[in-house]
Amino acid sequence: MSDDGRLRQIPAVQTVIRGIGDIPGVASTWVHTGARQVLAEIRQGVRQGHPVPDLDEIMGRVRARARDLARPHLRSVINATGVMIHTNLGRAPLPMEMMAHLGAIATQYSTLEYRLEQGVRGSRHEHVAGLLAELVGAEAAMVVNNNAAAVLLALSTLAAGKEVVVSRGELVEIGGSFRIPDVMALSGARLVEVGATNKTHDYDYARAINEETALLLKVHQSNFRQIGFVDSVDRATLTALAHSHQLPVMEDLGSGVLLPIRLDGWEEPTVQQVVEAGVDVTTFSGDKLLGGPQAGLVVGRRDIVERMKKHPLARAVRVDKMTLAVLELVLRQYREGRGEQLPLWQMIRMPAEGIKVRAEALRDALGVQAPGLVLDIEPDWSEIGGGSMPGTRVPSWVLTVALPTDRLTAVEEALRRGTVPVVVRVKGGKLVIDLRTVFPEQERPLLNALVEAIQRGHQGSGEGHHEDTGYDQAGAGHGH
C-alpha cells in the first residue's frame, strides 16, 4: 500500500478523543494536545515506512501522553548520583522546615519593600544585607539574581569605559559557554590580560596599571585546578598593590563558602577570609556551597555597594521575594551557628560508613522484591559538583545493579521516566546508586521506583545510554 493509503488509515483526532473519553484528573486540553502530538508522530512514522498502529494502541499512547502533559514540567526527582551540587538537578536542596515561611510569603502580602515601624516604603535589600555583611565581616552587602549578574553589575558600576587588569590564568569559562571576558565586554570595561596561563606575578599587575585602570580583578579557580609549574598572586599581596595605587580589588569567588572546608586535599577560602584580606568587593553564589537559593551575593566596601545599588542595571538583576525569603532563613541559620544543619552540609559531612549501612538495607529490600538480581555494595566516591572544589571527592559506598546492556539501558530510562523520577549513574555495565544524595524519606519511594523500573526493563529497551549519565554535565560551570 502507498504512503497516501496508509496515511488515510490514521484515525482523526476527534475519533481518538471520543474513544478515550474523560481521564480522571486530566483536563481535556491535555487530551486534545496529546492526541495531536501522537497522531503527528504516527504520520511521520508512516512516511518512514512504519505501519499504522491499531486504535487501541493509539488511544493508549494518547492517554499516557495526556497524563504526562498534565504534570508540571518542573518536577522533583530523587538524586541517586552522589553529586551533591548537581546543576542539572537544581543545585543545593533547601530545608523542608523553611517551606512554611516561604508558603506564607508566596500566598500573602509581605513587607518586601515596606517598613512596618515607620509605615513608609523600604528597600528589599534590607531583609538580608545587614545579616550578610555581619556574617562575613564586611561593611555592606546586597543580593542580585545570580553570581554572573553580580559580576556584571560590579564591573558596570566600577569600570565601564575603563581598564580591568586580570591574570590570564583566571580568564575562566563560567558554564554554558559564558566567559569572564564576555561578561567584561558586556559591562563596558576593557580587559587587560597580564602574566601567563600558568604563572602571574605581582609585577605583571604593577606594569599594567595606568591612568585608565579602574580596578584589579581576581577570579577564584572554583571550577578548575592548576597543578605543576604554576604561581599566582595571593589576594593580600594584590590588595596591597591595588591600594598603593588608590585602586579597588574585586574578587569573583564563584562558589562562596561560609564554613571552613577541606576535602581530598583541597581547601576552599571562606568569604570571611577574602573580606579580611582587604578585597574591596567580593561576589559569590547562593545555591552552591552556601546551601541556599540561586542568588548572586555581593559584599564589600559600603561606598562601592551603594553605587551598585543605584546603578540602572541593579533593577534588571534584582531578586524576588521568594529568593529573599529563603536566603534570609539560610543566613539566619548560619548566624545561629546551625549552618552545618543545612541539607547540603549534612550530605558533605555524612560518614561513609553510615551510607554503607543504608545501602546494605536497600540491597536487602531490593533483593526480596526483585529476586535474581546481581546486587553489590562497593566503595566509591561522591562529588561536590556544581563547579565547586574541582576534582574533590568524598569517600562513599554505593549499591550497584549489574544488568545486560539492553536491560541496563531500559531500566535507567524507566527510572528517569517513572512516576517518581530517579537519576542514577551508569558505569561499567551497572546501575550505580549513591545514597549520600538521597534523603532518608526518599528511600522507600526509591525502592519502589527500582522495582517498577526493573519490571518495565523486561518489556523493552531504551535508545542508548552513556557512561556516568548521572554526573553533573552542565554543572562544570564556575559558580554563577
**Residue pLDDT, tens place only, 184-217:** 999 999 999 998 878 889 999 999 999 999 999 9
Give the C-alpha separation, 308 to 138, whole Å. Answer: 15
Looking at the DSSP bridge assignments, the partners of residue 263 are 266
Residue 273 makes CB contacts below 8 A (sequence gap 6+) with none
Q: How far apart, in Å, are the Cα atoms of 344 and each of 301, 355, 404?
A: 30, 15, 34
Classify strands 281-285 and 296-300 as parallel, antiparallel or unpaired.
Answer: antiparallel
Pairing label, strands 213-219, 249-254 = parallel
pTM over 0.85: yes
Average pLDDT across the chain, whole number: 90
In terms of Cα–Cα distance, which of 397, 434, 401 is closest to 83? 434
As annotated, the residues of the chain forming the CATH 3.40.640.10 domain(s) are: 126-339
Which CATH code, of 3.40.640.10, 3.60.40.10, 3.20.20.70, 3.40.50.300, is assigned to 126-339? 3.40.640.10
Q: For residue 96, what is the DSSP state? A: G
What residues of the chain score a pLDDT lower than 50?
461-479
Q: Give the whole-angstrom CA distance, residue 153 versus residue 161.
A: 14
289/254 Cα distance (integer angstroms): 10
Look at residue 393 in the predicted model and tell me its pLDDT. Answer: 85
- What is the per-residue pLDDT for 389? 60
Architecture of domain 78-88+347-460: Alpha-Beta Complex (3.90)
Which ranges in the chain are annotated with CATH 3.90.1150.110? 78-88+347-460
Query: Three-state DSSP class for 22?
Result: coil
The predicted structure's pLDDT at residue 462: 40
C-alpha cell at 161: 569605559
From residue 52, alpha-carbon distances to 3, 4, 58, 219 in Å are 10, 12, 9, 58
Distance, CA of 427 to CA of 468 (rounded, Å):
5
